[in-house]
Structure 1
Amino acid sequence: MFWWEGRGPGGLRVAFTDTAAGNLALHVGDDPGVVLGRRRALEEHMGVRPGGLRFMEQVHSAIVASVPDPAAPAGVPTADALLSTDGSTPLAVMVADCLPVLFAGTAPGGKLVTAAAHAGRRGLLDGILLNTVHALRDAGAADISAWIGPGVCGRCYEVPASMLDEAVHLPGAISRTSWGTPALDLPAAAAAQLATLSVDTERVPGCTMEEKDLFSHRRDAPTGRFAGVIW
């Protein structure tokens, strides 16, 4: 069910699902009842209460939304990053080539602050990771760690040459495919951007285009979505 699993500060756990967990998205034409069943199975595997894992409606924006009290009715905000100001709410981000980025920070008194961000080309250009880190710091986080999950790599993410001009301000973003055409390297760009913000970053291996155990929209559209989760 998990492609990769690790640990963060204060007993936090971070993970990225694979195709064995099934499609977790409600917007790709899958049976909603089946998708909700998969989400419940994921929650059980994580050891969190049914309905406790929070998702968002992702729109390739730079919007960060805070989740409410974990005991309150679950809402689905329109945003591309979710923030839990006390780290108690399990968070999810869904992807199938874009980057799932998970964050954990510690504040004075040992308080935890967590976030989950959806960082595709548009989101990176518009500052979704910058906004997420600022939101974490506004919530009191001083020492922040990030995990960049699997996404399309710089050897596979072919783009028109005109798109390179948009990304020249992002260190590490400009790349070439393995067959020699213009490309973007989203994982490298995300890591470089987080480094400038003094965020301790770990890159989880895996290219969605190359790994059959990960969903890839570019390879298999229409397809499902896997998730990055922090709890």
Structure 2
Amino acid sequence: MTVRIRRVTTTRAGGVSAAPFDTFNLGDHVGDDPKAVAANRRRLAAATKLGPDRVVWMNQVHSADVAVVDGPGPVVDHTDGLVTVQPRLALAVVTADCVPVLMADARAGVIAAVHAGRVGAANGIVARALETMERHGAHAADVSVLLGPAVSGANYEVPDAMAAEVEAALPGSRTTTSRGTAGLDLRAGLHRQLTDLGVTAIDVDPRCTVADRALFSHRRGAPTGRLASLVWME
């Protein structure tokens, strides 16, 4: 029996935060008023019909660490990936240019949410999340993945040496920006990595956080808020 998988990604609209976090900032570490962030998170929980105690958040640190959660609780510290087998428990990742990766095996009833920035992606955070899912009964061939809105290769300019370093660790990532300079397309690299690991159902949200002003982007203008991407099983 398969379970129903739900995935949600927010935009800047619909919250109570003041500029420059306007308005639906879900990040509690960017300098926004904590009361506004808490109110926005309550709005998100109500919109998903899960309730605030059924959303698990991370203190993301650009690591390759993955935590398994069995129920609601405090924010999970020092991790960039969450895995669970519990229904109606949403796993949340916050981003403003990095790649939110939402993974699910509907047949096995295992999900994961991953924060894949340049460092974490190069260090294998997504592969580690998949390995953790497999230890809990998932099969790569049954896993579906959404690579959410992130900075596109056209707008992610980096030094040549950095592009080469990331390409060596995550093949397929190196690209050329719209200005003709060295760039990174982390979603392209992650897509290739997941394919090599046996995952075939991969969807990519085409939106670029830098180009789309309906989304938060740290590269476009910091300080700024954070989007949230959630995955859960009904």
User: Is the contact made by 1:40 and 1:51 (CA closer than 8 Å) also made in structure 2?
Assistant: no
Query: Which structure 1 residue ranges, 4+ long, deviate > 6 Å from structure 2?
Result: none
Q: 2:6 is matched with which residue?
A: 13
> SS of 1:218's equivalent?
coil
CA distance in 2 between counterparts of 1:68 and 1:86 reads: 6
Q: Deviations over 1:84-125 (max 9, x none)?
A: 12344111000000000001014xxx5410110000110111
Aligned to 2:129: 132
Following the alignment from structure 1 to structure 2, what is the Cα–Cα distance between the partners of residues 51 and 30?
22
**CA–CA separation in structure 1 for the residues paired with 2:76 and 2:224:** 22
Number of aligned positions between the proteins: 218
Shift of 1:228: 0.7
Query: In the alignment, which residue of structure 2 is the partner of 1:121?
Result: 118
TM-score scaled by length of structure 2 = 0.89
Q: Which runs of 5 or more structure 2 residues have no equivalent in the other structure?
A: 15-23
Q: Are the equivalent residues in 2 in contact too, given 1:25–1:224 (CA < 8 A)?
A: yes
Q: Which one-letter code corresponds to 1:204 in the other structure? A: D
Q: Which runs of 5+ in 1 are unaligned?
A: 1-8
Identity %: 43
Per-residue deviation, 1:227: 0.8
Alignment of 1:24-103 (within 5 A): 24-70=26-72, 73-103=73-103
> What whole-Å deviation, never above 9, does each CA across 1:118-150 have from its counterpart, x for those lacking one?
001101110000100000101101211110000
RMSD: 1.3
Matched, 1:167 2:166: yes
Please name the residue that 2:194 is paired with: 194
Tell me the secondary structure at the aligned position of residue 3 of structure 2. helix
Q: Distance in 2 between matches of 1:175 and 1:25?
A: 29
Alignment partner of 1:220: what SS?
coil
Normalising by structure 1, we get a TM-score of 0.90
Q: Cα offset for 1:168?
A: 2.6
